[in-house]
Amino acid sequence: MTRDSAWQSRPRVVRDGVVSSVASSRERAAWTILALPLLLLLAVPIVLLVGRASSGAIARELASRETHEAIVLSLATSVISLGVTIVLGTPLALYLARSRSRLGVILETIVDLPTVLPPSVAGVALLLAFGRTSILGGWLHERGLDIAFTSLAVVVTQVFVASPYFVRSARAGFASIPRDMLEASIIDGATGWTLLTRVLGPLSIRSLGAGAAMSWSRALGEFGATMIFAGSLSGVTRTMPIAVYVGFESSLDRAIVLSTILIALSVILLVLVRVLGWRAASGPEN
């Protein structure tokens, strides 16, 4: 190509680039306009709710005994349920990550089921399983242990509805570890607890952390199943979400303040999950 022909073709290339840039800008603007209504629907109610929580109302409600009890109960039960989930969910996640059988597929379906069940169905199922009139619940009652409508029922409910989030994330983390690395660790003598704590755990720590954060967030916000299985006993089973519901009848300020606290905790946990996800996506740090 001569210098003249190259020079003559340059304006067309530039024009094509300009046209492409204009078309791309218009396309982005169109997608933004189409996405805006849903974004507003998601953001505006949260912003307006947080905006209603005045500093005076927050201070007054935090000093209230019922609000204090709801906060302490929610934090205590959700931390306990998270501990139970990690202890019991980690071996299950490890089994699912290494299983290639039909049993593994069935178990994965069972684990995922609570995430799609309506909360009322989960509550009824737990009540029929652990209520005094059930076989298991009656057997426990005869031995002096009642679960339904106690603080223990809150923990059981939270584990039931929130543990799948941890198990799924942990399973993905374990499954992402190269098989040759596991085989090399086993050859070097790492088995059982040592393999879990020295190899699997450290290599999957970000997936485990993200799953724990999501599980805790789900447990903290659990409402429907808890209402049916545990009830709404002040200081015993009335967690923050239940106190929000009750607050609409007795104290709107309490409902707003507790909702704001739950939103703040949820935002913190979501940011944590995003950070863990970004770090995992960027690969191991040097």
Instruction: Specify the pLDDT at position 15.
Output: 54
Instruction: Specify the pLDDT at position 273.
Output: 75
pTM to 2 decimal places:
0.82
Distances (CA, A) of 135 to 138, 141, 197: 5, 10, 38
Rounded to whole angstroms, the Cα distance separating 147 from 120 reads 18
Residue 89: name the closest of 153, 157, 170, 201 by CA.
Answer: 170
CB neighbours of 94 closer than 8 A, spacing ≥ 6? 170, 171, 174, 196, 200
Instruction: Specify the pLDDT at position 188.
Output: 65
Q: Which regions of the chain are under pLDDT 70?
A: 1-23, 183, 186-192, 276-286
Instruction: Specify the pLDDT at position 285.
Output: 42
